[in-house]
Chain A
Amino acid sequence: MHLSQWKYVETTSSGQPVLRDNEQDIYVEQVVGLYQGKAKMIGKQKGRIYLTTQRLIYMDDAKPKEESIALELDDITSVEYSSKFLKKSAKLILFLLKPNGSSLREDKERGFTVNWVCPICMMTNESSSDLNESLQEMPPCINCGIRADYEMLKDSISRNLSDSHGEAPNQDLGSIECPACTFLNNLYMSNCEICGCRLPTENKAVRTVGFKDSRIKVKLESSDGIYENSKSYVQLSFRKSDGTMLWQATQKVLEDRERKRNSPILNQGVTTVNGVSINEEITLTEDKLSKVGIAGLEKAQENQIIKNDILLNKALTDLNSLMNLASEIELLYDKDSSAKTATKSPFLVVDREKFLNKSLFIDEIAREVYDFIMSEFKEQKEREGVILITLVDVYALYNKSMRIGTGLVSPQELREACEKFEKLGLRDLTLKKLNNRVLCVSSGDSFDFIKGKILKIVSAVPGADLLQLTQKLNSSSSNAWTVGIIMEVLQNCVNEGNLLIDEQISGIHYYVNCDWKIN
């Protein structure tokens, strides 16, 4: 039985989490194992923890697709850190919020109606409790009064989510309004589809009824020691590092979220609404019985000072709110312009500073590059079935997309990253050396594929030159095959004797070698 707080997380093919809109990653911790309560979670003992602005995501190193799992930061009430002691590795304990409302079982009874068809009189019955094999006695049919066998009516059972108490259908039941953008979201969404904002949890009890995400696989080594009424918790065990960085980062994020939640969403930094000042007006009632002499003068002086103070204060608040407004507009402008360029899902920002050492950083870059190539050349892969790009092109394209947090990736780093593809289990792409000189990222036997294609074109058009070949190859699509690749393939063909060259001032023309066989 797994905790209901575990959430399924979408992963990319290279084993990185797919982030939501407005979600940003903050820190990545390597080599972490998961515990639910006191028990080890089988299959989740070596992976990375991504701390984002909304979630804590566990990405398994070996099977990212199946074993990865996430926790919403909103579900975490507090964190506690226990340091390394003898053989016990450092752990971060996350205390979780109890799932809202009453226990699941009650919800089930309230939220469910079960329809079944009597096998004798064909009457459609409705019962409020769930029917299953373990039930001792099936409910009797309301028409004929006979208790049917479960085996006979199991096909006809259908579960409805409708309220069995016959209340008028509540609009909230079908959709949940986002508190930030008022979009009506589906019942089962936990975050707003439009803005990614966390949806309110009042209706969560209803929403979780009968809904258990089958994509989450949790197996425990032993009993987790969490009981119905006790506080549930999850532990992250740091196998390599001491984990203090993640601890501090998590704590900070949680604090920030708490602060944000408590601050009013609307009318931030406003001093007046419709001309009515929000701040309490400080009114100084002039003392009618004005004092005389030195005391009177002192009093007047005091009053004057207070008045000046108020005036200055007001002026400064106005100035401050103006500045706030300006910075907000600036922020809005930035967001708007960046939103136009990033039409796809938000990218993970890989930042050198988030990694303890270089090899971990390279690992992450490798995943990034893999994903990048796969998405960038998806069209070509679908049509041709293969990908072949020179490393130089990859370098240029990748850096052009500017996804590294601090600066660009260096050629050396890119090469190291590409060499790591196989080690990381990213098998679709490999780093190949063409003609012993040009490094290429290729999938499968792409080289033979393009070679065959070129030979076919040349035999159809004897004397074709590089330009013609490039045009023919890319006639169906725009620049799927780069000139660099085609040149290397031609070079290889000539060296192997498949093609003959005819060198002219206008360029090199290629012919298929039919007369002079080698071997």
Chain B
Amino acid sequence: MTTNLPAIYSFPPLYTCQPNALIREQQLTVWCEIIVEFAKKERVWCITAEGTPAKDGGDKQSVFRNDVIQRSVKSTFIEEIWHKMIETEKALRIDSDSNYFILWRSLDSWSALILQWFESSGKLNQVITLYELIEGDETLGCEFHGMDSMLMEKCLLRLRERGRASLLKDQNKVMGVKVV
């Protein structure tokens, strides 16, 4: 895991909350970058508050732990990091549980990307199911392939706000989308 992350990930003081406020600010920024980098490389959409990917079971390593140099971040400091993540809109808190969506692109950027796909693949004015969009063969090369469905919903909601999409709901759950 550490091989994919910047060198500063192996710097022991990174794991201790620095007393100097100015330095701590930069430290938090570094942490945000690390988490985003981690999520992007591992294609993890959702991370628990403890730093482990929310899906794929519990065997995955927490981003806040570095076994190579035997350091881990204290829980109070983890909270501070999440706070910073949300503040800079790098993460989105999921209300139902205490997990976070990691946004290595902003919601607007995602929705623009999705819209672009609809336009380029000639799917305008057609009903496309959410499943097709996420897991379908046609989106295989796209960056949003495999996206968490809840996150996809939020992106599509953005499109609806712009008046470009209408959502089809079944039992209060978004099942399909029609982009005009």
* Chain A residues engaging chain B, CB cutoff 8 angstroms: 463, 494-497, 500-503, 509, 511, 513, 515-516, 518
Contact = CB atoms under 8 A, between A and B. Distances in A.
Contacts of B94: none
B18 A518 contact: no
A518 B18 CA distance: 13
Nearest to B13: A500
A500 B27 CA distance: 11
A463 B13 CA distance: 9
Contact of A500 (B18, B22, B71): B18
Nearest to A500: B13
Contacts of A503: 16
Size bracket, chain B contacts:
10 to 19
B21 to A, nearest CB: 9
Interface string B1-13: 0000000100111
Given A494-B18, A500-B13, 6 more contacts: A463-B12, A497-B22, A500-B18, A502-B12, A509-B13, A518-B22
Contacts of B16: 500-503
B100 interface: no
Contact of B20 (A502, A511, A518): A518
A335 B8 CA distance: 68
B15 A500 contact: no
B19 interface: yes
Given A516-B26, A516-B27, A494 B11 contact: no
Contacts of A502: 12-13, 15-16, 71
A157 B19 CA distance: 77
B23 interface: yes
A496 B20 contact: yes
A516 B24 CA distance: 9
B10 to A, nearest CB: 12
Q: Of residues B15, B18, B27, which shows the largest number of chain A Cβ atoms within 10 Å of its Cβ?
A: B18
A511 B23 contact: no
B11 A511 contact: yes
A511 B22 contact: no
Nearest to A508: B16
A509 B20 contact: no
Contact of A495 (B8, B19, B26, B27): B19
A499 to B, nearest CB: 9
A519 to B, nearest CB: 8
B104 to A, nearest CB: 22
Nearest to B26: A516
Interface of B: 8, 11-13, 15-16, 18-20, 22-23, 26-27, 30, 71
B22 A494 contact: no
Given A502-B71, A516-B27, A509 B22 contact: no
Contacts of A500: 13, 16, 18, 23
A503 B20 CA distance: 14
A511 B13 CA distance: 7
Given A513-B23, A518-B23, A501 B18 contact: yes
Given A502-B71, A516-B26, A516-B27, A497 B12 contact: no
A7 to B, nearest CB: 61
B16 to A, nearest CB: 4
B20 A497 contact: yes
A496 B19 CA distance: 10
Contacts of A515: 8, 11, 26, 30
Nearest to B15: A502
A503 B8 CA distance: 17
Task: Please name the 5 residue pairs, one residue from A and one from B, whose CB atoms are nearest each other, closest first.
Answer: A500-B13, A516-B26, A502-B12, A503-B16, A518-B22
Contacts of B11: 511, 515
B129 to A, nearest CB: 47
Nearest to B16: A503
Contacts of A463: 12
A44 to B, nearest CB: 56
B12 A511 contact: yes
Contacts of B12: 463, 502, 509, 511
A394 B11 CA distance: 39
Given A509-B12, A515-B11, A501 B27 contact: no
A226 B12 CA distance: 83
A501 B26 contact: no
Contacts of B23: 497, 500, 513, 516, 518
17 contacts: A463-B12, A494-B18, A494-B19, A495-B19, A497-B20, A497-B22, A500-B13, A500-B16, A501-B18, A501-B19, A502-B16, A502-B71, A515-B8, A515-B30, A516-B30, A518-B20, A518-B22
Nearest to B22: A518
Contacts of A494: 18-20
Contacts of A497: 20, 22-23
Contacts of A518: 20, 22-23
